[in-house]
């Protein structure tokens, strides 16, 4: 019996050690696992929220270096400010609380063009366009539009044209024309 008891004691001790080790490993890994799961959920939630609300992490890169001259009826920009062909993004807060976004660029044919940072199709997403070389690309659907077509073609996913005129060495946009684009940026109409 002593051999059986001895084997039984050894087996019990071995099982007790194994259980103690497994419990220790489980306890020490549990807080780490919990932290990782919570971190992934929080990060995923933030990314989802930003994508659903049309917010863009790159929006700070869209801040214009150009300061327009604003009067009671128009906004003017020096033409030379667009010589590099890079789209410049601007915002105009309307009296009804809607901020209208638009961009201006010199296209590859040398014409300075302007359009709302929205289109007839994807405006509800509030994502606008980004420049990729000689193309403006819809941030929502990925369609590409040659710079020479901006302010020429309207409808569909084309950037919605914004009236502009060249007066001397300035590009002039009437405030009334900017405000007409508020339909693309009215959050109440997005649903």
In CATH terms, the fold of domain 58-189 is: Rieske Iron-sulfur Protein (2.102.10)
Question: Per residue in 83-113, is it b (16+ CB within 10 Å) or e — as a string?
Answer: eeeebbbbebeeeeebebbbbbbbbeeeebb
- List the beta strands (DSSP E) in the chain: 69-70, 74-78, 88-93, 99-106, 112-116, 129-132, 135-138, 144-146, 165-167, 170-174
* Burial class, 177, CB count within 10 angstroms (exposed 0-12 / middle 13-18 / buried 19+): buried
Domain range list for the chain: 1-52, 58-189
Statement: residue 106 has pLDDT above 50: yes
CA-wise closest residue to 102 among 92, 116, 88, 113: 116
Contact 151, 113 (CB under 8 A): yes
Cα separation, 37 vs 109, whole angstroms: 53
Greater pLDDT, 83 or 17: 83
**Which pLDDT score, from 0 to 100, does residue 55 have?**
33
Residue 42 has phi, psi (to 5 degrees) of -65, -50
5-58 per-position pLDDT tens digit: 666 666 677 666 666 555 554 455 577 777 666 656 655 544 444 444 433 323
* Contact yes or no for 129/139 (Cβ under 8 A): yes
Backbone angles phi, psi at 90, to 5 degrees: -135, 160
pTM comes to 0.65
Are 89 and 118 a contacting pair, CB within 8 Å? no
Q: Are 137 and 144 in contact (CB under 8 A)?
A: yes
165-178 per-position pLDDT tens digit: 999 999 999 999 99
Q: Which tokens in the block code for residue 31?
A: 């807080």
């Amino acid at each position: 019996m002593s051999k059986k008891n001895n084997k039984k004691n050894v087996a019990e001790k071995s099982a007790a050690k194994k259980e103690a080790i497994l419990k220790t490993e489980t306890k020490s890994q549990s807080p780490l696992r919990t932290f990782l799961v919570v971190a992934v959920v929080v990060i995923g939630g933030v990314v989802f929220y930003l994508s659903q609300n049309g917010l863009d992490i790159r929006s700070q890169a869209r801040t214009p270096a150009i300061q327009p001259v604003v009067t009671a009826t128009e906004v003017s920009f020096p033409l030379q400010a667009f010589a590099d062909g890079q789209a410049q993004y601007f915002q105009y807060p309307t009296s009804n609380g809607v901020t209208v976004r638009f961009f201006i660029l010199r296209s590859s044919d040398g014409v300075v063009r302007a359009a709302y940072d929205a289109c007839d199709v994807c405006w509800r997403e509030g994502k606008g366009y980004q420049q990729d070389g000689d193309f403006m690309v819809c941030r929502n659907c990925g369609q590409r539009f040659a710079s020479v077509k901006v302010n020429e073609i309207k409808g569909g996913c084309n950037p919605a044209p914004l009236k502009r005129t060249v007066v001397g060495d300035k590009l002039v946009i009437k405030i009334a024309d900017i405000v007409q684009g508020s339909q693309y940026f009215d959050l109440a109409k997005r649903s």
